[in-house]
Amino acid sequence: MTRASATAKVNLALVVGPVRGDGKHEVATVMQRLALADRLELTPGDGLIVEGFAEDTLVRGALTSLAIEAGVRPRWRARISKRIPVASGLGGGSSDAATALLLANATLHEPFQGDRLHDLARALGADVPFFLVSGPQLGQEEGGALTPLELPQDYFVLLVLPSGAAKHGTAAVYDDFDRREGGDGYEARHAALLEAVSAVVRPRDLAALPPNDLVSSPLADELRALGAFRADVSGAGPTVYGLFHHRQAADAAQRRLRSRGRTWLTAPAWYG
């Protein structure tokens, strides 16, 4: 048996452009792993079996794609232990898929390296390649072209999933973005993101990153009022995050917001 953590992620910035010729949006995003994580176990099997999370499609798809690419039968039993909330903007499904790829790839007689595994991950979803690598990353193009970033890791992250919040499908979120012509001015916002992230030295410098282009939430204002030096929605939502310098302030904010939904207090993570 092999096992590994499948970490959540938070989008510390998300700048979105207009639809490209291939039907995808140009995206620039800063992604940071979190200590909040699912757990995956992989053992040899007679066929392909995925247990523990009935709604899974991405782990099964990842293992099937790997087997096809390797020219082998998919003989793995995967068990997913979920802790990351589903459809929350925290990348749980993508992280599970990437972790399954890494675990299963290691069992191959000739494991894939580098670009080949990255290409498999990118075909599964724009966020999946991020979870193959360590540390914060700048994602560009549709989010899957990655550049490592040196960002501070010494802060606390409070996540709030508002009660009754249902994530609209990612396609619906992007459709709404297109209807309001959100992609206008992308080049300027992209340049501002690159300038801001290059200037980050201390945690509080993350406050200068531009806000999420896709969605916003009044909870971000509440988190800032409670002491967060940065707060925004992660990904396409609906989870809202607040970054805090001190654990005491983060604990106090969590107590204040527990009535508003599910909360998790976590921290940045460098590895899966």
Catalytic residue, from 9, 38, 56, 167: name it. 9
Cβ neighbours around 120 below 10 Å, total: 23
**Closest to 261 measured CA to CA, from 225, 211, 217:** 217
List the Cα angle 190/212/181 in 5-degree steps.
70
Cβ neighbours around 23 below 10 Å, total: 7
CB under 8 Å to 46, separation ≥6 — which residues? 75
State yes or no: is 9 an active-site residue: yes
The phi-psi region of residue 193 (left if phi > 0; otherwise alpha if psi is between -120 and 50; otherwise beta) is alpha
Cβ neighbours around 228 below 10 Å, total: 26
Does the N-terminal peptide bond of residue 162 adopt cis geometry, omega within 30 degrees of 0?
Answer: no
SS3 at position 76? strand
Cβ neighbours around 248 below 10 Å, total: 11
Task: Take residue 139 and report the two structure tokens written for it.
Answer: 């994602």
CA–CA separation, 215 and 198 (whole Å): 24
- CA 130, 150, 183, 89 dihedral sign is positive
SS3 at position 250? helix
Catalytic residue, from 38, 56, 96, 127: name it. 127
CA–CA separation, 167 and 86 (whole Å): 9
Residues catalogued as catalytic:
9, 127
